[in-house]
Every structure is written in C-alpha cells, then in structure tokens.
Amino acid sequence: MSQEAYAVIMAGGKGERFWPLSTSKRPKQVLSLVGGKPLMQLAIERLEGLIPPERVIVVTNADIVDVTCEAAPDLPRENVIGEPFGRDTAAAVALASAIVKARDPDAVFCILTADHVIGDNDLFLQTLREGIEVAAAGDVLVTIGIQPAFASTAFGYIESGDPVEHDGRIDFLRARRFVEKPDQPTAEKYLDAGTFCWNSGMFIWSVKSIQNAFSKFQPQLLQMADTMESHAGAPDFIKCLADEYEKLERISVDYAIMEKADNILMARGTFNWGDVGSWDSLENYFDKDPSKNVMIGDGEVLEATGSIVVSEGRTTCLVGVDNLIVVQAENATLVCHRDRAQDVKKMVQQLRATGRHDHVL
C-alpha cells in the first residue's frame, strides 16, 4: 500500500525569523541552512525508497514557485502548486487533497513540512510506512507525535490515550486532545505525565478520510477542494484558485479539524526531530568552538562566547561580546541578542511598515 502513497510538503511560510538571509524572494525552505542542501531538497530526498519525486506535491506561495523548483530539481514542475495568498494550513491541506484526488481518489497522502530536520531516517520512513498502512485501512486521521526529549515551550503537544493494536514496530495510540504551546511549568507536567508528545505538524490520511472531516467541520473548504479537483491541470487553474481562495478565512488544520475530530490516531515518533524555526535553533546542527560559539562561514572571535555567526562571502569578527546572533547577508546585517531570536520577525514587520526597505525584504 505504501507504494501508492503521496507526500505533500507544506512550504508556504515566509521564514521571517531567518531574515536577512531569508527574504520574500528566497525564503528559508530554499536556503541551505543545514545539511549543505536546501531544506526543500532534503525534505524530498529523505522520502527516497518510499515515495518517489513524481508523487511529491509541494504547496508554496505563487511568487516563489520558480525558486522552489530550482531548490528541488528532481521534482516535476507541475507538482509545485503556488497559492495566490496564504490562508493557513487548513486551506493548503484541502487544496492538496484535491490535487491528489485528481490523480488517484483512493490514495493516502502524508502532510510534511520543508523546515524539519530529521535524523534516524530509516526509522522516520518506517513510521511513515506504517502510518500509511493504518490510514489506508480505515476512516482515521493519523498524526505523528514526537516523543519529547525535554520540557519544551516551543511546540504544541498531543495527549495520547489507549494504544491501538497494530502489527508493526511503531506504537499507535488514540489521540485525546491537542494543546497549545505551554508555559514552562505546564511543559514540565506534560513531560512527567509521559502521555504527551510534541505536535510535529505531520499527518497521514486517505483522501476520503480528510475530505470526510472537511465535510463535517469545514464544508467551505471541501467545496473549494471539489472545485479545484475539477480544474486540476486545466489552463484556468491559477485563476480559479485565486477566485476560490478569496472566499476563504485563515484557519489552521489543527483548529479546523484536529481539535474537533474523534477519529485521530497518533503514531509515536521516536526518530530525532527538530524544527528549524529561528536562528538560535542552528546551534543544534553545528559544532561549537570551546567558547560555545557557532561560526558558519568566515569569521573570528576574541573573548566572545555563546554566539551564532553566519557570514558567507565576507569576514565577521566578534570581540568581547556574549550571546549574540550576527548574520551578514548581501544587503543587510542583523545583530541581536540570543534571547530575542524570536523577535527578528518583529523587525521584519517594522522594516516593511516603513516602506523604505523593500530591497532587503
């Protein structure tokens, strides 16, 4: 059954927390932030042996279809779908269900993202393979919960319930509820309870099961999917998509479906998993010097500690400073404290609001 599966890679984010390297024209999923290759290319390559490129669909922004194709040269161009504007993940999933259904109405497909870094790739593929089998066997929505390594406040959580009988290596449990990113004391309670996993944002379901869920909880999205299925591959696809998307409200698939459905199973993911969400997350993927600095590119430090420096094509030197993020890009330089890494997005919004900095955005 796994040989009939599709993968849908969500790549619609702007990656604003990785400014100034990530811009509206070259967002983070097409950058080689880790692994020496674009994140998009890594996401496709890790599926090798389970889902070939011709059955990988990428949903991204319409204005970066070209750079996405450049970053994923093995992907057929018709498999890169550009949304005219963002309507969050529920709309992207509904659109993906239409594209897959037009090719195979009985298919199972995985929802993955372009900004995950995954180790233990064989175990990751085994988790997908068994998830595909479970999703194909019944009207269920499968999500992958990551066994937490620590009490993180950066991820949402899934509370698991009773185990589900299944012939395989991967544990499947009934999902009791999805919860938002917790504060530190709550995260520690979740870790101690042993029944909570990180919400990875990865899902597996059949076309029929996810469209049944849209019919029940978000009929407008199902209506959009039905319309787009009938226009798949047609010359007016792009115009029709813009017309349909204008009618939609922004809503995530978690809010739209996963927090409402009662047929959710969670596959316990025990492979190494990370979300490349902001500059400070890079310390997990690069070696540090004795003073705990991460240096990517050309640079030197003198009595500087705990900093992350990204400097390609020029030399950057730090003297007597601690816990900084310094990023040199072609047209802009970022300097911020490690504790404020999440606020890089606010700076991008401020630059955009002035109207004077479009050339660096």
CA atoms lying within 13 Å on the CB side of residue 274: 14
Residues ≥6 apart with Cβ < 8 Å to 180: 156
pLDDT at 222: 97
- The arithmetic mean of pLDDT across residues 27-56, rounded, is 92
Please say if the pLDDT value at position 89 is more than 60: yes
Token digits of residue 87: 């309507």
Average pLDDT across the chain, whole number: 93
User: What is residue 53's predicted lDDT score, i.e. its pLDDT?
Assistant: 96
C-alpha span between 334 and 332 (Å, rounded): 7
Nearest to residue 71, comparing CAs of 45, 105, 107, 109? 45
Tell me the mean pLDDT in the region 194-201: 94
pLDDT at 3 (0 to 100): 45
Residue 259 contacts residue 178 (beta carbons within 8 Å): yes
Q: How confident is the model over 10-19, as a mean pLDDT?
A: 86
For residues 344 and 125, give the distance between their C-alpha atoms in angstroms, rounded to a whole number: 34
Q: Cα 132 to chain center, whole Å?
A: 19
pLDDT, average across residues 326-347: 93
> Within 13 Å of residue 60, how many CA atoms lie on the same side as its CB?
31
C-beta separation of 293 from 301 below 8 A: yes
Q: Rounded distance, CA 263 to CA 213, Å?
A: 9
Residue 154: band (very low, low, confident or very high) from pLDDT cuts 50, 70, 90: confident
Tokens of residue 205, six digits? 């379901």
Q: What pLDDT score does 33 carry?
A: 85
Asked if the model's pLDDT at residue 2 lies above 70, the reply is no
Which residue is listed with tokens 């991967």? 170
Strand pairing class (294-302; 308-319):
parallel
Judge whether residue 61 has pLDDT over 50: yes
Name 11's Cβ contacts closer than 8 Å, sequence gap at least 6.
27, 29, 40, 58, 59, 60, 68, 113, 114
Mean pLDDT of all residues in 190-208: 95
CA distances from 266 to 143, 200, 202, 258, 269 (A): 5, 11, 10, 11, 9
Report pLDDT for 25. Answer: 86
- The CA distances from residue 360 to 16, 25, 122, 352, in Å, are 12, 10, 40, 9
Q: Are 154 and 181 in contact (CB under 8 A)?
A: yes
With a cut of 90, say whether residue 264 has pLDDT above it.
yes
Residue range 129-149: average pLDDT?
96
| Residues 2, 51: Cα–Cα separation, whole Å | 8
Domains belonging to the chain, first-starting first, are 2-275 (3.90.550.10), 279-360 (no CATH)
pLDDT tier at 359, thresholds 50, 70, 90:
confident
Amino acid identity of residue 305, one-letter, is T
> Taking residues 5-28, what's their average pLDDT?
89
The proportion of the chain whose per-residue pLDDT surpasses 90, expressed as a percent, equals: 80
For 268-285, write each residue's pLDDT tens digit.
999 999 888 889 888 888
